[in-house]
Structure 1
Amino acid sequence: MDWQVSRTGQIDLGGRTVRAALGKGGITDASDKREGDGATPLGRYALRRVMYRADRVDAPDTALPVRAIRPDDGWCDAPDDPAYNRPVRKPYPASHEDLWREDGLYDIILVLGHNDDPPVPGAGSAIFLHCKRGDYEPTLGCVALDPDDVRALLAQAKPGDTLTIS
């Protein structure tokens, strides 16, 4: 299945349209995406794997690979580092995002296949589908849904599925 997210922040979950938060930097062509620009890149992305906070939520029901987030999980966002746009273990010497967050945004994360085969330094990292903040406040470039909608998408998702931001 190819899940479609519109520029206006809507996604169809099996006949039910729900809201999605997108990047505070707007929407950009994937070729124009830059590290730290806060933009959500247009394009079609493979659904790679799911991570979740086992101390807060149950494992999502999905056919995708799933693993619990650990307190030392990070994601490298340093373009000049060999681990750029890859998971890392903290402490990590280069710049990285903390996946063990207190705000609940990463209680469930769906890793999207943006700039990962292989990563192009500076072309954007850590583009996830994750839980929304507040009343769908803008993200730093990710797609964010209500936690129940994240679970609904994951329950239908399977290996080989994609998410298109158009």
Structure 2
Amino acid sequence: MVLTPQGIRFQGRLWPCTIGKGGISDRKREGDGATPRGTHAIVGMLYRPDRIAKPADWAKPIGPPDLWSDDPADEDYNMMVRAPYPHSHERLRRSDPLYDLVILTGWNWPYAVRGRGSAIFMHQYRRPGYPTEGCIAFSRPHLHEIARRIRYRTRLIVP
């Protein structure tokens, strides 16, 4: 998978997407809204079993207590954690459909450098052209089709 100005090039197709509101960065930091430049392995897939069917045999369900730590001061920074969790985090089980299906990249994982930025997900976008907080977002149909085609350890290249 290669990010281009027109979208992600993957398996002979171009998949329109949006990236972080901070553009592409060589110096990704927590909260900067940037998508980090580099080669990132696909290291996981999460889904809402109450909303969609399991998209791949290696996908893991998102439950009500599932969160993602974005607190650089916490030892679980940039890891999936469970509620109750007293540190800064993002709820994975959202009321909107953005995280019904999440493809995890290996950005700053599994041994996170504190403050270098937490998870870069591939997820559904709010609407076409609406930027993310650093993730890569697609239309729902495109994201689901990519999930059917992608494999564990596929590389995402952000030039």
TM-score (norm 1): 0.91
**Alignment match of 1:150 (pick from 143, 149, 155):** 143
Aligned to 1:124: 117
Report the CA distance between 1:71 and its aligned residue.
0.8
Q: Note if 1:25 corresponds to 2:22.
A: yes
Contact 1:9 1:21 in 2 (8 A): no
Instruction: Count residues in correspondence.
Output: 159
Q: Note if 1:96 corresponds to 2:94.
A: no
Measured in 2, the distance between the counterparts of 1:107 and 1:139 equals: 16
Contact 2:108 2:119 in 1 (8 A): no
User: Matched residue of 1:155: which SS?
Assistant: helix
AA aligned to 2:38 is: G
User: Matched residue of 1:151: which SS?
Assistant: helix
Measured in 1, the distance between the counterparts of 2:120 and 2:132 equals: 10
Q: Note if 1:53 corresponds to 2:48.
A: yes
**Alignment match of 2:3 (pick from 5, 21, 46):** 5
Report the CA distance between 1:160 and its aligned residue.
2.6
Report the CA distance between 1:16 and its aligned residue.
2.1
Aligned to 1:72: 65
Q: Evaluate the alpha carbon distance shift between residue 9 and residue 39 of structure 1 in structure 2; reply closer, same or farther with a 3 A threshold.
A: farther
Measured in 2, the distance between the counterparts of 1:162 and 1:24 equals: 22
Contact 1:23 1:40 in 2 (8 A): yes
User: Matched residue of 1:5: which SS?
Assistant: strand
Percent identity over the alignment is: 41
**Alignment match of 2:74 (pick from 68, 71, 81):** 81
User: Matched residue of 2:29: which SS?
Assistant: coil
Q: Note if 1:15 corresponds to 2:8.
A: no
Measured in 1, the distance between the counterparts of 2:9 and 2:142 equals: 10
Measured in 2, the distance between the counterparts of 1:144 and 1:127 equals: 10
After superposition, the CA RMSD in angstroms is 1.3
Gaps of 5+ in 1: none
Please identify runs of 4+ aligned residues in structure 1 that moved more than 4 A. Answer: none
Report the CA distance between 1:161 and its aligned residue.
1.3
